[in-house]
């Protein structure tokens, strides 16, 4: 299932879902006029790229990684999530990631996508509280 989502900020997000892969994948490419952000390994790896003119073909700009800004972090999985919750409850450790309202908004968008797909691709606006 693939879909396009018009964001409140005025840009489109295109989601491509591929079935039957022999691996888990949730990667994001965020493209903008001044470059892109690539999020890999479930958010554990992030790369920033910027356009550079004429790397391979004269007159064309290509995206090239900004190497010093590469970041890695913990992979968001169930074991890590449960450990983070336990640490927070026991030691007041800070919780990383999105907050409750952001999580609910993300769930509303995904629910709208499923309803749209079930309804033959009709437009469904997320029900945000």
Print the SS3 string covering 72-102: ECCCCCHHHHHHHHHHHHHHCCCCCCCCHHH
pTM, rounded to two decimals: 0.46
Query: Distances from the Cα of 56 to the Cαs of 31, 50, 65, in angstroms?
Result: 21, 15, 15
Token pair for residue 68?
A: 């010093």
- Round the average pLDDT of the chain to a whole number and report it: 79
Asked whether residue 52 is assigned to any structural domain, the reply reads yes
| Residue position matching structure tokens 């999530």 | 81
CA distance 31 to 38: 9
Question: 50 falls in which pLDDT band (50, 70, 90)?
Answer: very high
Asked whether residue 123 is assigned to any structural domain, the reply reads no
DSSP category for residue 118: H
Question: 75 falls in which pLDDT band (50, 70, 90)?
Answer: low
Domain that holds residue 55: 2-74
Asked whether residue 39 is assigned to any structural domain, the reply reads yes
């Amino acid at each position: 299932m693939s879909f396009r989502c018009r964001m409140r900020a005025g840009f489109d997000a295109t989601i491509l879902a591929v079935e039957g892969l022999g691996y888990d994948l949730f990667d994001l490419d965020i493209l903008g006029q001044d470059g892109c952000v690539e999020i890999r390994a479930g958010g554990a790896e992030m790369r920033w790229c910027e356009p550079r003119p004429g790397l391979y073909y004269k007159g064309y700009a290509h995206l090239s990684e900004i190497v010093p800004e590469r970041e890695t972090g913990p992979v968001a999985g169930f074991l890590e999530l449960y450990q983070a919750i336990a640490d927070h409850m026991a030691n007041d450790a800070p919780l990383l990631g999105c907050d409750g309202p952001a999580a609910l908004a993300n769930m509303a968008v995904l629910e709208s996508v499923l309803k749209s797909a079930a309804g033959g691709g009709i437009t469904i606006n997320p029900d945000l509280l």
